[in-house]
Amino acid sequence: MPGLKHERLFPFPVAGVDEAGRGPLAGPVVAAAVILPAKGVPRGIDDSKKLTAATRATLCARITGCATVGIGVVEAEEIDTLNIHWATMKAMTLAVDAVAATLGHAPGHVLVDGNRLPRWDYLATALVGGDALSLSIAAASIVAKHHRDEIMLRHHADYPHYGWASNKGYGSAAHLRALDEHGPSPLHRRSFAPVAQAFLVS
């Protein structure tokens, strides 16, 4: 289970950062930055991939109710321009910028899930497998995943044939069949191979 060992190595407040949506064929990449309170941290925070959607929704509400939270969203068109790596870095930067704006100053430190850091001026540490180690990163993973899922559920209403209510834009068999049948939507990432191929044959 994640804990606060890594947060305690640095001056408070420490922001944990994680992203959701690097791999999907459609929709944005979303990052969240979370500074948990010194007291009253919600119980049950864990790597978002280990939690059900209902549990993520409940925890997201509890986290946003007690923590300082920033969210960064980079849409598909910009993903195609920047590539997914740099789009993810931008989403993380936007998330931490939002937290800094709320605080009125930079966090004491930033813990980022993964092995790469954005090009920014924040004091930061990359933590491989951070969502399983750091409670702040795990909280960020929950917020980012829930926020992105909600975006894809809203988009599903406009493009129901892709099945985004269930696959959230990932390349499921049903999603790939819909790409073949209907072609890409404006929310698809044209730089991703299955979508690029669908453009060629549509």
Distance CA 8, CA 115 (A): 20
State pTM to two decimals. Answer: 0.96
Whether residue 192 lies inside any domain: the answer is no
Whether residue 138 lies inside any domain: the answer is yes
Distance CA 129, CA 121 (A): 23
User: For position 200, what pLDDT does the model report?
Assistant: 60
Q: Does a cis peptide bond (omega within 30 degrees of 0) precede residue 118? A: no
- Residue 54, domain extent: 7-147
Comparing 1 with 87, which gets the higher pLDDT?
87
Calculate mean pLDDT across residues 12-36.
98
Mean pLDDT, all residues of the chain: 96
Specify the number of domains making up the chain: 1
Calculate mean pLDDT across residues 39-58.
96
Task: Report, in this order, helix, strand and coil percent for the chain, each rounded to 5.
Answer: 50, 15, 35
pLDDT at 98 exceeding the cut of 90: yes
Q: Is 18 annotated as a binding-site member? A: yes
Q: Is 113 annotated as a binding-site member? A: yes
Structure tokens at 143: 């917020």
Of 79, 84, 88, whose CA–CA distance to 18 is shortest? 88
Whether residue 187 lies inside any domain: the answer is no
